[in-house]
Amino acid sequence: MAVTIRDIHLKTVRQPLRSPFKAVLQQVEEREIILVSVTGDVGDVGYGECVAFETPWYTEETITSCRFVLEQVLVPLLMNKTIGSPQEVWNLFAAVKGNRMAKAAIEMAVWDLFAKQQGEPLWKFIGGSPQPISAGIVVAADPLKIEEQVALAAQSGYRRVKIKIHPDMEVALLKSVIAAFPELQFFADANGSFQKDSFNRLQAFDEVDFALIEQPFGEREWALHAQAKKELKTKICLDESIACLEDVQQMIDQQAGDIVVLKMSRLGGWTEALKVVRLCQTHSIGMWVGGMIEFGVSKAHNLALASLPGIVYPGDFSASQHFWEKDIIDPEITVENGNILLSNRPGIGYRVV
Ligand code: OSB
Ligand code: MG
């Protein structure tokens, strides 16, 4: 099957979050994304979502740098091209360095388009299985509000809760929260806030009994992560460190982590994400799909990704209503008994509104 790209459209979507998201590095109150739509010669439309932030606190890219690169560089490279498979998009963009979040947005739209032209749901198109996807929610709030938010999550049916941590946080408080909810699985995400001289603080968090600690140290701190993997009983999971396939190989070679957080946007799209999944499967590295405080288009792609074998841990998959008054997809994503059901409709399986 070959598809000729006839139209590419970028649309900015801006919405306040229902409540502020407080991480160590940044407080997010409002979100701006770029919705990318790609039309093929048969008339089907594929959608992608650019989830870079307004400032470069999570990755080096910003929504403004992405808009520039999309408009001035990537759209012209793809426009009117005839491609035989969505993997070819990566090659078309080969001369463009970095800018993976911008590339991902447009590449994801092409994968959606191909799945739609094939008449298949995206999860099936990439070789996944139609299992219910385990939901997971993130608590990014003031320490005194953590317990209340965890209780709300449990009431809403979530069975996995990720708590944002940093070295100055009180370990006793976290211990008591976790002890109060034995039915829940807890992850911790440090977003790289620990340093060499706070290694002993990290050891204190090892006593909390988290299922894993995500990104304790900075993104290039392979040796510190290897030391953490060796000395802590809690599993070490890498998010910001994994910007490409080679970083996963680095993690394996240096024994710098047990688990990889898959983020299609950070990796540059489906093609690279699928390579990462294959490498992790080969080396029995645990995986789960991370969130970006994103809207439904990005979430739908990520849900399809989570249908692949080997993605065993619950991802950052919350209901549309968790962050948004109104999502950009119809129907919205809902969580039932701790799960999200995959759509059986072609492509991402949701109508974009
Ligand atoms: O570090 O995982 C992260 C959100 C934005 C940027 C980085 C991260 C996050 C989250 C996930 O923690 C939030 C979500 O559920 O979307
Ligand atoms: Mg993270």
Catalytic residue status for 81: no
| Per-position b or e across 234-250, b if 16+ CB within 10 A of its CB | bbbbbbbbbbbbebbeb
Q: Is any atom of ligand 1 closer than 6 Å to the C-beta of 49?
A: no
Q: Is any atom of ligand 1 closer than 6 Å to the C-beta of 53?
A: no
Burial of 57 (0-12, 13-18, 19+ CB in 10 A): middle
289 with 313: CB under 8 angstroms? no
| pTM > 0.85 | yes
34 with 11: CB under 8 angstroms? yes
Please tell me the residue having the least CA distance from ligand 1 atom 11. 291
Domains, in order of start, for the chain: 3-119 (3.30.390.10), 124-352 (3.20.20.120)
For residue 11, the surrounding DSSP H or E stretch is: strand 3-22
202 with 228: CB under 8 angstroms? yes
Atom of ligand 1 nearest to the CA of 263: 2
Report the alpha-carbon distance of residue 163 to residue 142 in Å, rounded: 11
Report the alpha-carbon distance of residue 165 to residue 186 in Å, rounded: 12
Q: What is the pLDDT along the chain (353 residues), one digit of tens a residue?
A: 899 999 999 999 999 999 999 877 789 999 999 999 999 999 999 999 999 999 999 999 999 999 999 999 999 999 999 999 999 999 999 999 999 999 999 999 999 999 999 999 999 999 999 999 999 999 988 888 999 999 999 999 999 999 999 999 999 999 999 999 999 999 999 999 999 999 999 999 999 999 999 999 999 999 999 999 999 999 999 999 999 999 999 999 999 999 999 999 999 999 999 999 999 999 999 999 999 999 999 999 999 999 999 999 999 999 999 999 999 999 999 999 999 999 999 999 999 99
Q: Is any atom of ligand 1 closer than 6 Å to the C-beta of 316?
A: yes
Catalytic residue status for 235: no
Q: Is any atom of ligand 1 closer than 6 Å to the C-beta of 290?
A: yes
DSSP assignment, residue 178? H
Catalytic residue among 116, 124, 162, 164: 164
